[in-house]
Amino acid sequence: MKKRYIRTLTPVIIVAVVLAIIFRTHLFASYVVNGESMEPTLYDGNLLMVNKVVYNLTDIDRFDIIVFHANQQNDYVKRVVGLPGDELVYENDKLYVNGEYVPEEFLEPFQNVNEHQPYTEDFTLEGITGSAKVPEGKLFVLGDNRGDSLDSRNIGFINIEQLVGKVDIKYWPFSEVSANS
């Protein structure tokens, strides 16, 4: 009886392991946040589950949190602010996309902390990149910690082909588990 149970269970375990390996290597990746550039949304040491196939099925949305290859050694996690064709202006702590104000609700609790200094310094896309609009095939990304983030204001546009995927779940520490939509 025990032998039959083991014979029945063995293929199930093998299939489960193979599916887990495929699932892990091709559909999702696990990342550790390194640094403070996405605070207060993500903190140094948070563990993230990144969906590697979502953008094969859907479009990238403004304010998605993404992971991308910054160079051969480093991957960065940032928030998408500008999509291809967008004209961006940041003025008086407000984001304007194509001339219209777009609220960044995730930043509102932090924007009015210091009355004498804006949370995000004023900029125009043209003033940073020399281009009035985000080019086709590119993204403009910012860290949520606007005063301490290495993002498109410093490194320029991100090529869509550099994307690893969308951050779907923050799963560590357990007290901060959350899913991004």
Q: What SS3 string covers 58-77? A: CCCCCCCEEEEECCCCCEEE
Catalytic residue among 78, 138, 166, 170: 78
Catalytic residue among 37, 149, 166, 170: 37
- Give the up-direction half-sphere exposure of residue 70: CA atoms within 13 A in the CB hemisphere: 15
Catalytic, 30? Answer no
Catalytic, 3? Answer no
Q: How many CB atoms lie within 10 A of CB 103?
A: 9
**How far from 32 is each of 37, 82, 89, 99, CA to CA, in Å?**
13, 25, 31, 36
Which bin fits 121, alpha (ψ -120 to 50), beta or left (φ > 0)? Answer: beta
State the catalytic residues.
37, 78
